[in-house]
Structure 1
Amino acid sequence: MNQIVVETTDAVLKEGPGTEFPQKSFLKKEQRLTVYSRKNHWLHVKTDDNKTGWVADWMIAAGYKNPIEKLGDATIVIDAGHGGADSGALSIKNKMEKKYTLLYAKELEQKLEAAGAKVYMTRSSDKTVSLSSRPILAQQVHADAFISIHFDSCDQPNAASGFTTYYYHTGKSLKLARCINQSFGALGLENRGVDKGDFLVIRDNTQPSVLLEMGYINTQKDFDNISDPSYRSEAMGDVVKGLKKFIENND
Protein backbone atom coordinates (compact mmCIF):
# COMPACT_ATOMS: atom_id res chain seq x y z
CA MET A 1 0.00 0.00 0.00
CA ASN A 2 1.11 3.55 -0.66
CA GLN A 3 -0.27 7.00 -0.04
CA ILE A 4 -1.15 9.70 -2.53
CA VAL A 5 -2.46 13.25 -2.20
CA VAL A 6 -5.44 14.59 -4.15
CA GLU A 7 -4.23 17.47 -6.32
CA THR A 8 -7.52 18.46 -7.98
CA THR A 9 -10.76 20.05 -6.82
CA ASP A 10 -13.30 17.82 -8.58
CA ALA A 11 -12.30 14.22 -7.76
CA VAL A 12 -15.16 11.86 -6.91
CA LEU A 13 -15.15 8.70 -4.77
CA LYS A 14 -17.18 5.93 -6.45
CA GLU A 15 -18.55 2.61 -5.17
CA GLY A 16 -16.79 0.70 -7.94
CA PRO A 17 -14.10 1.04 -10.65
CA GLY A 18 -16.05 2.90 -13.34
CA THR A 19 -18.21 5.94 -14.07
CA GLU A 20 -21.34 3.78 -14.05
CA PHE A 21 -21.02 3.13 -10.29
CA PRO A 22 -22.84 5.35 -7.76
CA GLN A 23 -21.03 8.31 -6.28
CA LYS A 24 -20.11 8.11 -2.59
CA SER A 25 -18.60 11.51 -1.93
CA PHE A 26 -16.37 14.27 -3.24
CA LEU A 27 -12.68 14.30 -2.36
CA LYS A 28 -11.04 17.46 -1.11
CA LYS A 29 -7.91 18.93 -2.60
CA GLU A 30 -4.82 17.88 -0.57
CA GLN A 31 -6.76 15.01 1.05
CA ARG A 32 -4.58 11.93 1.67
CA LEU A 33 -5.58 8.55 0.25
CA THR A 34 -4.23 5.09 0.98
CA VAL A 35 -4.15 2.99 -2.20
CA TYR A 36 -5.04 -0.71 -1.84
CA SER A 37 -5.11 -1.79 -5.47
CA ARG A 38 -5.54 -0.66 -9.07
CA LYS A 39 -7.95 -1.79 -11.79
CA ASN A 40 -7.24 -0.25 -15.19
CA HIS A 41 -7.27 3.50 -14.47
CA TRP A 42 -9.16 3.18 -11.18
CA LEU A 43 -7.64 3.10 -7.69
CA HIS A 44 -9.20 1.33 -4.70
CA VAL A 45 -8.53 3.74 -1.83
CA LYS A 46 -9.25 4.63 1.77
CA THR A 47 -9.54 8.29 2.71
CA ASP A 48 -8.04 9.90 5.79
CA ASP A 49 -11.52 9.88 7.33
CA ASN A 50 -11.80 6.09 6.77
CA LYS A 51 -14.10 6.04 3.74
CA THR A 52 -13.30 3.40 1.12
CA GLY A 53 -14.11 3.44 -2.58
CA TRP A 54 -12.70 3.90 -6.05
CA VAL A 55 -11.33 7.00 -7.74
CA ALA A 56 -10.12 7.58 -11.31
CA ASP A 57 -6.36 8.12 -11.39
CA TRP A 58 -6.55 11.03 -13.82
CA MET A 59 -8.93 12.90 -11.51
CA ILE A 60 -6.67 13.03 -8.49
CA ALA A 61 -3.40 14.21 -10.00
CA ALA A 62 -2.62 16.28 -13.06
CA GLY A 63 0.52 14.20 -13.51
CA TYR A 64 -1.41 11.26 -14.87
CA LYS A 65 -1.84 13.19 -18.12
CA ASN A 66 0.53 15.75 -19.48
CA PRO A 67 -1.15 19.16 -19.36
CA ILE A 68 -1.85 20.76 -22.72
CA GLU A 69 -1.49 24.42 -23.53
CA LYS A 70 -3.33 24.87 -26.83
CA LEU A 71 -6.57 23.73 -28.42
CA GLY A 72 -4.70 22.01 -31.25
CA ASP A 73 -3.36 19.45 -28.75
CA ALA A 74 -6.71 18.84 -27.05
CA THR A 75 -8.97 15.79 -27.12
CA ILE A 76 -12.64 16.77 -27.19
CA VAL A 77 -15.72 14.54 -26.99
CA ILE A 78 -18.86 15.93 -28.61
CA ASP A 79 -22.19 14.45 -27.57
CA ALA A 80 -25.12 14.94 -29.93
CA GLY A 81 -28.07 14.54 -27.59
CA HIS A 82 -30.71 11.84 -28.13
CA GLY A 83 -30.71 9.89 -31.43
CA GLY A 84 -32.30 6.80 -32.94
CA ALA A 85 -35.33 5.69 -30.95
CA ASP A 86 -34.97 8.76 -28.72
CA SER A 87 -36.24 11.77 -30.67
CA GLY A 88 -35.78 14.25 -27.85
CA ALA A 89 -38.09 17.26 -27.66
CA LEU A 90 -40.34 18.38 -30.52
CA SER A 91 -40.85 21.77 -32.12
CA ILE A 92 -44.30 23.26 -32.63
CA LYS A 93 -44.36 21.58 -36.06
CA ASN A 94 -42.98 18.29 -34.67
CA LYS A 95 -39.39 18.70 -35.82
CA MET A 96 -37.21 16.38 -33.72
CA GLU A 97 -34.49 17.62 -31.39
CA LYS A 98 -32.20 14.71 -32.34
CA LYS A 99 -31.84 16.05 -35.89
CA TYR A 100 -30.55 19.41 -34.75
CA THR A 101 -28.26 18.15 -32.00
CA LEU A 102 -26.46 16.09 -34.65
CA LEU A 103 -26.23 19.02 -37.06
CA TYR A 104 -24.72 21.18 -34.32
CA ALA A 105 -22.36 18.41 -33.19
CA LYS A 106 -21.04 17.96 -36.73
CA GLU A 107 -20.61 21.72 -37.10
CA LEU A 108 -18.58 21.81 -33.88
CA GLU A 109 -16.59 18.74 -34.95
CA GLN A 110 -15.62 20.42 -38.22
CA LYS A 111 -14.53 23.63 -36.52
CA LEU A 112 -12.52 21.85 -33.82
CA GLU A 113 -10.74 19.61 -36.32
CA ALA A 114 -9.89 22.69 -38.37
CA ALA A 115 -8.25 24.05 -35.20
CA GLY A 116 -6.20 20.85 -34.88
CA ALA A 117 -8.07 19.20 -32.01
CA LYS A 118 -8.70 15.46 -31.84
CA VAL A 119 -12.46 14.91 -31.78
CA TYR A 120 -14.56 11.93 -30.74
CA MET A 121 -18.31 11.83 -31.36
CA THR A 122 -20.73 9.85 -29.19
CA ARG A 123 -22.76 9.43 -32.37
CA SER A 124 -22.24 10.54 -35.98
CA SER A 125 -25.56 9.32 -37.35
CA ASP A 126 -29.18 8.89 -36.27
CA LYS A 127 -28.65 5.92 -33.97
CA THR A 128 -29.60 5.03 -30.43
CA VAL A 129 -26.76 5.53 -27.94
CA SER A 130 -27.18 4.78 -24.23
CA LEU A 131 -26.76 7.66 -21.82
CA SER A 132 -24.21 5.80 -19.69
CA SER A 133 -21.90 5.08 -22.63
CA ARG A 134 -21.46 8.76 -23.42
CA PRO A 135 -19.43 9.83 -20.36
CA ILE A 136 -17.59 6.49 -20.50
CA LEU A 137 -16.21 7.47 -23.93
CA ALA A 138 -14.85 10.68 -22.42
CA GLN A 139 -13.18 8.64 -19.69
CA GLN A 140 -11.70 6.13 -22.12
CA VAL A 141 -10.04 8.75 -24.32
CA HIS A 142 -9.05 10.98 -21.37
CA ALA A 143 -10.91 13.88 -22.95
CA ASP A 144 -9.84 17.40 -22.08
CA ALA A 145 -13.49 18.45 -22.43
CA PHE A 146 -16.90 16.87 -23.04
CA ILE A 147 -19.57 18.98 -24.76
CA SER A 148 -23.16 17.71 -24.83
CA ILE A 149 -25.51 19.54 -27.20
CA HIS A 150 -29.26 19.77 -26.59
CA PHE A 151 -32.26 22.03 -27.09
CA ASP A 152 -34.62 22.99 -24.30
CA SER A 153 -38.39 22.60 -24.22
CA CYS A 154 -41.10 24.17 -22.08
CA ASP A 155 -44.47 22.81 -20.97
CA GLN A 156 -46.34 25.40 -23.01
CA PRO A 157 -45.14 26.37 -26.51
CA ASN A 158 -43.57 29.84 -26.76
CA ALA A 159 -43.41 30.17 -22.97
CA ALA A 160 -39.60 30.47 -22.65
CA SER A 161 -36.61 31.55 -24.70
CA GLY A 162 -32.83 31.57 -24.64
CA PHE A 163 -29.82 29.30 -24.26
CA THR A 164 -28.18 27.97 -21.08
CA THR A 165 -24.79 26.44 -20.24
CA TYR A 166 -25.00 23.67 -17.64
CA TYR A 167 -22.32 22.07 -15.47
CA TYR A 168 -22.61 19.53 -12.65
CA HIS A 169 -19.20 19.29 -10.99
CA THR A 170 -17.45 22.35 -9.64
CA GLY A 171 -13.77 22.84 -10.40
CA LYS A 172 -12.84 22.36 -14.05
CA SER A 173 -16.37 21.68 -15.28
CA LEU A 174 -17.62 24.95 -13.82
CA LYS A 175 -14.62 26.76 -15.28
CA LEU A 176 -15.34 25.20 -18.69
CA ALA A 177 -18.99 26.28 -18.48
CA ARG A 178 -18.00 29.86 -17.67
CA CYS A 179 -15.41 30.01 -20.45
CA ILE A 180 -17.91 28.83 -23.04
CA ASN A 181 -20.82 30.93 -21.81
CA GLN A 182 -18.73 34.09 -21.68
CA SER A 183 -17.61 33.46 -25.27
CA PHE A 184 -21.12 33.52 -26.72
CA GLY A 185 -21.67 36.65 -28.76
CA ALA A 186 -24.91 38.33 -29.82
CA LEU A 187 -26.72 35.27 -31.16
CA GLY A 188 -30.18 36.81 -31.26
CA LEU A 189 -31.44 34.88 -28.22
CA GLU A 190 -31.13 35.61 -24.52
CA ASN A 191 -28.04 34.19 -22.84
CA ARG A 192 -29.52 32.66 -19.68
CA GLY A 193 -26.04 32.14 -18.22
CA VAL A 194 -24.43 29.26 -16.36
CA ASP A 195 -26.43 26.92 -14.16
CA LYS A 196 -26.00 23.59 -12.37
CA GLY A 197 -27.85 20.74 -14.08
CA ASP A 198 -28.35 17.19 -12.84
CA PHE A 199 -27.92 15.47 -16.22
CA LEU A 200 -26.39 11.98 -16.29
CA VAL A 201 -23.93 12.71 -19.09
CA ILE A 202 -22.27 15.45 -17.04
CA ARG A 203 -23.06 14.13 -13.54
CA ASP A 204 -21.40 10.75 -14.19
CA ASN A 205 -18.53 12.26 -16.12
CA THR A 206 -14.97 12.21 -14.79
CA GLN A 207 -13.78 14.75 -17.38
CA PRO A 208 -14.48 18.50 -17.56
CA SER A 209 -17.98 18.50 -19.00
CA VAL A 210 -20.87 20.80 -19.89
CA LEU A 211 -24.31 20.45 -21.42
CA LEU A 212 -25.49 23.20 -23.76
CA GLU A 213 -29.19 23.93 -24.22
CA MET A 214 -28.99 26.10 -27.33
CA GLY A 215 -32.55 27.43 -27.36
CA TYR A 216 -36.13 26.33 -26.77
CA ILE A 217 -37.15 24.09 -29.64
CA ASN A 218 -40.89 24.56 -29.04
CA THR A 219 -40.65 28.36 -28.99
CA GLN A 220 -41.04 29.62 -32.55
CA LYS A 221 -38.57 32.50 -32.21
CA ASP A 222 -35.92 30.14 -30.86
CA PHE A 223 -36.62 27.46 -33.45
CA ASP A 224 -36.23 30.00 -36.25
CA ASN A 225 -32.71 30.56 -34.93
CA ILE A 226 -32.00 26.89 -34.18
CA SER A 227 -32.87 25.90 -37.75
CA ASP A 228 -30.81 28.73 -39.27
CA PRO A 229 -27.37 27.53 -40.49
CA SER A 230 -25.82 30.92 -39.73
CA TYR A 231 -26.94 30.73 -36.08
CA ARG A 232 -25.56 27.20 -35.88
CA SER A 233 -22.21 28.22 -37.33
CA GLU A 234 -21.86 31.29 -35.13
CA ALA A 235 -22.91 29.48 -31.94
CA MET A 236 -20.52 26.58 -32.48
CA GLY A 237 -17.75 29.00 -33.42
CA ASP A 238 -18.27 30.66 -30.05
CA VAL A 239 -18.02 27.25 -28.34
CA VAL A 240 -14.63 26.79 -30.00
CA LYS A 241 -13.55 30.19 -28.65
CA GLY A 242 -14.64 29.14 -25.17
CA LEU A 243 -12.78 25.84 -25.40
CA LYS A 244 -9.65 27.67 -26.53
CA LYS A 245 -9.91 29.99 -23.54
CA PHE A 246 -10.44 27.04 -21.19
CA ILE A 247 -7.49 25.04 -22.55
CA GLU A 248 -5.08 27.96 -22.58
CA ASN A 249 -5.93 28.87 -18.98
CA ASN A 250 -6.38 25.33 -17.63
CA ASP A 251 -4.12 25.48 -14.59
Structure 2
Amino acid sequence: MDKVKALGQWVVSRLVHFWLPLAITGSLLGVAVTVTAILLYKQQITVQIANLPVREQGKVTAKRVGLLSPGEHLQIIGQKNKWYHVRREDESTGWVASWLVERKKPLAKVTPLSETTIALDAGHGGSDTGALSNQDQYEKDYTLALARRVKTQLEKRGARVIMIRNQDVLVPLAQIPQQAEAKHADLFLSFHFDSAPEKNSASGYTTYYYHQENGSKELANAVNQALQSRLPNQMHNKGIAFGDYLVLRDNDLPAILLENGYINSDKDFKRIKTSQYQEQIARAIPLGLDHYLSQQMP
Protein backbone atom coordinates (compact mmCIF):
# COMPACT_ATOMS: atom_id res chain seq x y z
CA MET A 1 0.00 0.00 0.00
CA ASP A 2 2.81 2.34 0.86
CA LYS A 3 4.43 1.59 -2.49
CA VAL A 4 1.23 2.47 -4.34
CA LYS A 5 0.92 5.69 -2.38
CA ALA A 6 4.52 6.58 -3.06
CA LEU A 7 4.05 5.83 -6.74
CA GLY A 8 1.02 8.13 -6.82
CA GLN A 9 2.96 10.92 -5.15
CA TRP A 10 5.81 10.46 -7.63
CA VAL A 11 3.40 10.66 -10.59
CA VAL A 12 1.78 13.80 -9.19
CA SER A 13 5.18 15.40 -8.60
CA ARG A 14 6.22 14.60 -12.17
CA LEU A 15 2.99 16.12 -13.51
CA VAL A 16 3.50 19.24 -11.46
CA HIS A 17 7.15 19.46 -12.46
CA PHE A 18 6.65 19.02 -16.22
CA TRP A 19 3.06 19.48 -17.25
CA LEU A 20 2.02 22.43 -15.10
CA PRO A 21 4.71 24.76 -16.52
CA LEU A 22 3.81 23.47 -19.97
CA ALA A 23 0.15 24.26 -19.37
CA ILE A 24 1.00 27.74 -18.08
CA THR A 25 3.26 28.36 -21.07
CA GLY A 26 0.52 27.25 -23.41
CA SER A 27 -2.00 29.57 -21.76
CA LEU A 28 0.38 32.52 -21.95
CA LEU A 29 1.08 31.74 -25.58
CA GLY A 30 -2.65 31.68 -26.27
CA VAL A 31 -3.08 35.05 -24.59
CA ALA A 32 -0.17 36.47 -26.59
CA VAL A 33 -1.64 35.22 -29.86
CA THR A 34 -5.02 36.71 -28.96
CA VAL A 35 -3.53 40.09 -28.01
CA THR A 36 -1.43 40.14 -31.18
CA ALA A 37 -4.49 39.38 -33.28
CA ILE A 38 -6.43 42.17 -31.58
CA LEU A 39 -3.59 44.65 -32.13
CA LEU A 40 -3.25 43.66 -35.75
CA TYR A 41 -7.01 43.99 -36.19
CA LYS A 42 -6.89 47.46 -34.68
CA GLN A 43 -4.26 48.40 -37.25
CA GLN A 44 -6.61 47.42 -40.07
CA ILE A 45 -9.17 49.82 -41.47
CA THR A 46 -11.77 49.60 -44.22
CA VAL A 47 -12.40 52.51 -46.57
CA GLN A 48 -16.02 53.74 -46.47
CA ILE A 49 -16.10 56.55 -49.06
CA ALA A 50 -15.19 56.68 -52.74
CA ASN A 51 -12.27 58.37 -54.49
CA LEU A 52 -10.17 58.94 -51.39
CA PRO A 53 -6.71 60.15 -52.48
CA VAL A 54 -3.51 58.44 -51.41
CA ARG A 55 -0.63 60.91 -51.24
CA GLU A 56 3.13 60.68 -51.33
CA GLN A 57 3.38 62.52 -48.00
CA GLY A 58 1.01 63.36 -45.16
CA LYS A 59 -0.26 66.68 -46.43
CA VAL A 60 -2.90 67.88 -48.86
CA THR A 61 -0.43 69.52 -51.23
CA ALA A 62 1.66 66.33 -51.67
CA LYS A 63 1.56 64.43 -54.96
CA ARG A 64 -1.37 62.05 -55.36
CA VAL A 65 -0.23 58.48 -55.98
CA GLY A 66 -3.56 56.65 -56.00
CA LEU A 67 -7.28 56.56 -55.23
CA LEU A 68 -9.07 54.33 -52.74
CA SER A 69 -12.42 52.64 -53.26
CA PRO A 70 -15.10 51.75 -50.70
CA GLY A 71 -14.45 48.36 -49.10
CA GLU A 72 -10.70 48.45 -49.64
CA HIS A 73 -8.71 47.23 -46.63
CA LEU A 74 -5.71 49.18 -45.40
CA GLN A 75 -3.04 48.40 -42.86
CA ILE A 76 -1.96 51.37 -40.76
CA ILE A 77 1.82 51.33 -40.50
CA GLY A 78 2.28 54.79 -39.02
CA GLN A 79 0.66 58.15 -38.42
CA LYS A 80 1.65 61.79 -38.25
CA ASN A 81 -0.30 65.02 -37.90
CA LYS A 82 -3.66 63.22 -38.21
CA TRP A 83 -2.60 61.46 -41.42
CA TYR A 84 -2.26 57.67 -41.66
CA HIS A 85 0.67 55.99 -43.38
CA VAL A 86 -0.98 52.93 -44.91
CA ARG A 87 -0.19 49.79 -46.86
CA ARG A 88 -2.73 48.81 -49.50
CA GLU A 89 -3.76 45.31 -50.53
CA ASP A 90 -1.36 45.48 -53.50
CA GLU A 91 1.49 46.22 -51.02
CA SER A 92 1.90 49.83 -52.19
CA THR A 93 2.09 52.49 -49.48
CA GLY A 94 1.05 56.11 -49.09
CA TRP A 95 -0.64 58.64 -46.83
CA VAL A 96 -4.36 59.30 -46.33
CA ALA A 97 -6.27 61.83 -44.20
CA SER A 98 -7.32 59.87 -41.10
CA TRP A 99 -10.65 61.68 -40.70
CA LEU A 100 -11.64 60.74 -44.24
CA VAL A 101 -10.56 57.11 -44.16
CA GLU A 102 -12.55 56.73 -40.91
CA ARG A 103 -15.56 58.66 -42.24
CA LYS A 104 -18.75 56.61 -42.57
CA LYS A 105 -21.10 59.39 -43.64
CA PRO A 106 -21.28 59.67 -47.46
CA LEU A 107 -19.40 62.54 -49.03
CA ALA A 108 -20.69 63.97 -52.31
CA LYS A 109 -17.20 64.70 -53.61
CA VAL A 110 -13.69 64.49 -52.22
CA THR A 111 -11.75 67.68 -52.96
CA PRO A 112 -8.48 69.10 -51.62
CA LEU A 113 -10.63 70.99 -49.10
CA SER A 114 -11.80 67.61 -47.76
CA GLU A 115 -8.17 66.74 -46.93
CA THR A 116 -7.48 70.05 -45.21
CA THR A 117 -7.47 70.92 -41.50
CA ILE A 118 -8.79 74.42 -40.85
CA ALA A 119 -8.58 76.36 -37.59
CA LEU A 120 -11.47 78.78 -36.98
CA ASP A 121 -11.02 81.59 -34.47
CA ALA A 122 -14.25 83.22 -33.29
CA GLY A 123 -12.84 86.59 -32.21
CA HIS A 124 -13.01 87.70 -28.56
CA GLY A 125 -15.05 85.73 -26.00
CA GLY A 126 -15.58 85.57 -22.24
CA SER A 127 -14.62 88.81 -20.52
CA ASP A 128 -13.44 90.20 -23.87
CA THR A 129 -16.76 91.22 -25.44
CA GLY A 130 -15.23 92.84 -28.51
CA ALA A 131 -16.98 95.82 -30.09
CA LEU A 132 -20.52 96.91 -29.29
CA SER A 133 -23.35 97.50 -31.70
CA ASN A 134 -25.46 100.64 -31.35
CA GLN A 135 -27.98 98.40 -29.58
CA ASP A 136 -25.32 97.16 -27.12
CA GLN A 137 -24.94 93.74 -28.75
CA TYR A 138 -21.57 92.07 -28.26
CA GLU A 139 -19.24 91.27 -31.14
CA LYS A 140 -18.14 88.03 -29.43
CA ASP A 141 -21.62 86.52 -29.83
CA TYR A 142 -21.79 87.14 -33.57
CA THR A 143 -18.26 85.91 -34.28
CA LEU A 144 -19.05 82.62 -32.54
CA ALA A 145 -22.35 82.20 -34.37
CA LEU A 146 -20.59 82.81 -37.69
CA ALA A 147 -17.69 80.47 -36.93
CA ARG A 148 -20.13 77.67 -36.09
CA ARG A 149 -21.90 78.13 -39.42
CA VAL A 150 -18.60 78.05 -41.27
CA LYS A 151 -17.64 74.87 -39.40
CA THR A 152 -20.85 73.20 -40.54
CA GLN A 153 -20.27 74.10 -44.18
CA LEU A 154 -16.64 72.97 -44.12
CA GLU A 155 -17.45 69.65 -42.47
CA LYS A 156 -20.14 68.99 -45.09
CA ARG A 157 -17.28 69.02 -47.57
CA GLY A 158 -15.20 66.63 -45.47
CA ALA A 159 -12.72 69.12 -43.97
CA ARG A 160 -11.32 68.65 -40.48
CA VAL A 161 -12.21 71.73 -38.42
CA ILE A 162 -10.59 72.99 -35.23
CA MET A 163 -12.55 75.55 -33.22
CA ILE A 164 -10.23 77.73 -31.16
CA ARG A 165 -13.27 78.37 -28.99
CA ASN A 166 -16.72 76.83 -29.30
CA GLN A 167 -18.30 78.58 -26.34
CA ASP A 168 -18.23 81.92 -24.55
CA VAL A 169 -14.72 81.71 -23.10
CA LEU A 170 -11.64 83.89 -23.37
CA VAL A 171 -8.65 82.34 -25.14
CA PRO A 172 -5.48 84.43 -24.56
CA LEU A 173 -4.33 85.99 -27.82
CA ALA A 174 -0.87 84.40 -27.75
CA GLN A 175 -2.42 80.94 -27.43
CA ILE A 176 -4.65 81.25 -30.50
CA PRO A 177 -2.01 80.70 -33.21
CA GLN A 178 -0.23 78.23 -30.92
CA GLN A 179 -3.36 76.09 -30.67
CA ALA A 180 -3.82 76.08 -34.42
CA GLU A 181 -0.27 74.91 -35.02
CA ALA A 182 -0.30 72.39 -32.15
CA LYS A 183 -3.37 70.73 -33.66
CA HIS A 184 -1.73 70.54 -37.09
CA ALA A 185 -4.00 72.97 -38.93
CA ASP A 186 -3.23 73.78 -42.56
CA LEU A 187 -5.12 77.10 -42.68
CA PHE A 188 -6.26 79.68 -40.12
CA LEU A 189 -9.29 81.99 -40.30
CA SER A 190 -10.22 84.56 -37.65
CA PHE A 191 -13.71 86.13 -37.61
CA HIS A 192 -14.48 89.66 -36.44
CA PHE A 193 -16.84 92.57 -36.96
CA ASP A 194 -15.31 96.01 -37.35
CA SER A 195 -16.05 99.13 -35.35
CA ALA A 196 -15.52 102.77 -36.35
CA PRO A 197 -14.55 105.61 -33.94
CA GLU A 198 -17.93 107.20 -34.62
CA LYS A 199 -21.23 105.39 -35.00
CA ASN A 200 -22.54 104.97 -38.53
CA SER A 201 -19.38 106.46 -40.03
CA ALA A 202 -18.10 103.37 -41.88
CA SER A 203 -19.43 100.35 -43.73
CA GLY A 204 -18.18 97.26 -45.55
CA TYR A 205 -16.14 94.08 -45.07
CA THR A 206 -12.35 93.64 -45.32
CA THR A 207 -10.07 90.61 -45.50
CA TYR A 208 -6.71 91.01 -43.77
CA TYR A 209 -3.40 89.17 -44.09
CA TYR A 210 0.04 89.74 -42.54
CA HIS A 211 2.58 87.39 -44.16
CA GLN A 212 3.07 87.22 -47.91
CA GLU A 213 5.66 84.47 -48.24
CA ASN A 214 3.53 81.70 -46.71
CA GLY A 215 0.43 82.05 -48.89
CA SER A 216 -1.60 84.30 -46.58
CA LYS A 217 -2.04 87.06 -49.17
CA GLU A 218 -3.18 84.55 -51.81
CA LEU A 219 -5.59 83.05 -49.27
CA ALA A 220 -7.00 86.52 -48.48
CA ASN A 221 -7.50 87.19 -52.20
CA ALA A 222 -9.28 83.89 -52.82
CA VAL A 223 -11.65 84.23 -49.85
CA ASN A 224 -12.39 87.90 -50.52
CA GLN A 225 -13.30 87.17 -54.13
CA ALA A 226 -15.58 84.34 -53.01
CA LEU A 227 -17.30 86.68 -50.54
CA GLN A 228 -17.80 89.24 -53.26
CA SER A 229 -19.44 86.63 -55.48
CA ARG A 230 -21.85 85.68 -52.70
CA LEU A 231 -22.50 89.14 -51.25
CA PRO A 232 -22.83 91.38 -54.34
CA ASN A 233 -25.72 93.46 -53.01
CA GLN A 234 -25.31 92.92 -49.29
CA MET A 235 -22.39 95.09 -48.31
CA HIS A 236 -19.49 97.06 -49.76
CA ASN A 237 -16.33 95.02 -50.36
CA LYS A 238 -13.30 96.96 -49.12
CA GLY A 239 -10.98 94.29 -50.53
CA ILE A 240 -7.87 92.84 -48.91
CA ALA A 241 -5.43 94.74 -46.71
CA PHE A 242 -2.31 94.25 -44.61
CA GLY A 243 -3.28 93.78 -40.96
CA ASP A 244 -0.78 93.84 -38.09
CA TYR A 245 -2.79 91.57 -35.79
CA LEU A 246 -1.09 89.18 -33.35
CA VAL A 247 -3.12 86.16 -34.49
CA LEU A 248 -1.77 86.77 -38.00
CA ARG A 249 1.68 88.12 -37.20
CA ASP A 250 2.63 85.25 -34.86
CA ASN A 251 1.16 82.60 -37.11
CA ASP A 252 3.25 80.39 -39.39
CA LEU A 253 0.17 79.08 -41.21
CA PRO A 254 -1.53 80.75 -44.16
CA ALA A 255 -3.75 82.96 -42.02
CA ILE A 256 -6.39 85.64 -42.60
CA LEU A 257 -8.67 87.80 -40.46
CA LEU A 258 -12.12 88.68 -41.77
CA GLU A 259 -13.90 91.86 -40.65
CA ASN A 260 -17.40 91.05 -41.83
CA GLY A 261 -19.00 94.49 -41.56
CA TYR A 262 -19.14 97.33 -39.03
CA ILE A 263 -21.04 96.33 -35.93
CA ASN A 264 -21.61 99.97 -34.92
CA SER A 265 -23.13 100.82 -38.29
CA ASP A 266 -26.92 100.50 -38.22
CA LYS A 267 -26.84 99.70 -41.93
CA ASP A 268 -24.29 96.90 -41.56
CA PHE A 269 -25.64 95.53 -38.29
CA LYS A 270 -29.08 95.12 -39.81
CA ARG A 271 -27.47 92.46 -42.01
CA ILE A 272 -24.87 91.14 -39.55
CA LYS A 273 -27.51 89.98 -37.08
CA THR A 274 -29.45 87.95 -39.66
CA SER A 275 -28.91 84.23 -40.17
CA GLN A 276 -29.20 84.80 -43.92
CA TYR A 277 -26.13 87.07 -44.04
CA GLN A 278 -24.10 84.75 -41.81
CA GLU A 279 -25.07 81.76 -43.94
CA GLN A 280 -24.04 83.56 -47.13
CA ILE A 281 -20.58 84.12 -45.65
CA ALA A 282 -20.40 80.54 -44.42
CA ARG A 283 -21.20 79.20 -47.89
CA ALA A 284 -18.77 81.57 -49.62
CA ILE A 285 -15.73 80.64 -47.53
CA PRO A 286 -15.43 77.01 -48.76
CA LEU A 287 -15.49 78.32 -52.33
CA GLY A 288 -12.58 80.63 -51.56
CA LEU A 289 -10.64 77.89 -49.80
CA ASP A 290 -11.21 75.49 -52.68
CA HIS A 291 -9.87 78.08 -55.11
CA TYR A 292 -6.83 78.77 -52.94
CA LEU A 293 -6.03 75.07 -52.51
CA SER A 294 -6.37 74.40 -56.23
CA GLN A 295 -3.61 76.95 -56.79
CA GLN A 296 -1.36 75.20 -54.27
CA MET A 297 -1.72 71.68 -55.67
CA PRO A 298 1.27 70.19 -57.54
Query: Which residue of the partner structure matches residue 169 of structure 1?
Result: 211
What displacement does 1:247 show?
Answer: 1.4
Number of aligned residue pairs: 190
Residue type matched to 1:222 in 2? D
Contact 1:142 1:207 in 2 (8 A): no
Q: How does 1:193-232 map to 2 (within 5 A)?
A: 193-232=239-278
1:126 aligned to which of 159, 168, 188? 168
How many angstroms apart in 2 are the aligned matches of 1:196 and 1:187?
25
Query: Which residue of the partner structure matches residue 89 of structure 1?
Result: 131
Bigger Rg, which one: 2
Query: Which residue of the partner structure matches residue 236 of structure 1?
Result: 282
Question: Whose relative contact order is higher, 1 or 2, with alpha carbons under 8 Å and at least 6 apart?
Answer: 1
The answer for unaligned runs of 5 or more in structure 2 is 1-56, 63-110
Residue type matched to 2:282 in 1? M
Q: Deviation per CA, 1:198-241, whole angstroms, max 9, x where unpaired?
A: 00001100100000000000000100110010010001211111
Tell me which protein shows more helix as a share of its residues.
2
Residue type matched to 1:111 in 2? Q
What displacement does 1:139 show?
Answer: 1.1
What displacement does 1:245 show?
Answer: 0.8
State the TM-score, normalized to the length of structure 1.
0.73
The answer for unaligned runs of 5 or more in structure 1 is 1-62
Q: How does 1:36-185 map to 2 (within 5 A)?
A: 65=59, 67=61, 70-171=112-213, 172-184=215-227, 185=229
- Which portions of structure 1, spanning 4 or more consecutive aligned residues, are displaced by more than 4 angstroms? 63-66
What displacement does 1:150 show?
Answer: 0.2
Alignment partner of 2:149: what SS? helix
How many angstroms apart in 2 are the aligned matches of 1:76 and 1:155?
32
Instruction: Say which is worse superposed, 241-250 or 211-220, in terms of deviation.
Output: 241-250
Residue type matched to 1:240 in 2? P
Contact 2:60 2:116 in 1 (8 A): no
> Quick one: structure 1 residues 195 and 209, their matched pair in 2 at CA, closer, same or farther if it must change by over 3 Å?
same
Residue type matched to 1:164 in 2? T
> Quick one: structure 1 residues 218 and 66, their matched pair in 2 at CA, closer, same or farther if it must change by over 3 Å?
closer
How many angstroms apart in 1 are the aligned matches of 2:260 and 2:292?
20
Query: Which residue of the partner structure matches residue 85 of structure 2?
Result: none
How many angstroms apart in 2 are the aligned matches of 1:217 and 1:85?
18
Could you tell me the percent identity over the aligned residues?
A: 43
> Quick one: structure 1 residues 239 and 213, their matched pair in 2 at CA, closer, same or farther if it must change by over 3 Å?
same
Q: Deviation per CA, 1:147-180, whole angstroms, max 9, x where unpaired?
A: 0000000010000000000000003000100000
Q: Please report the RMSD computed on the Cα atoms of aligned residues, expressed in angstroms.
A: 1.6
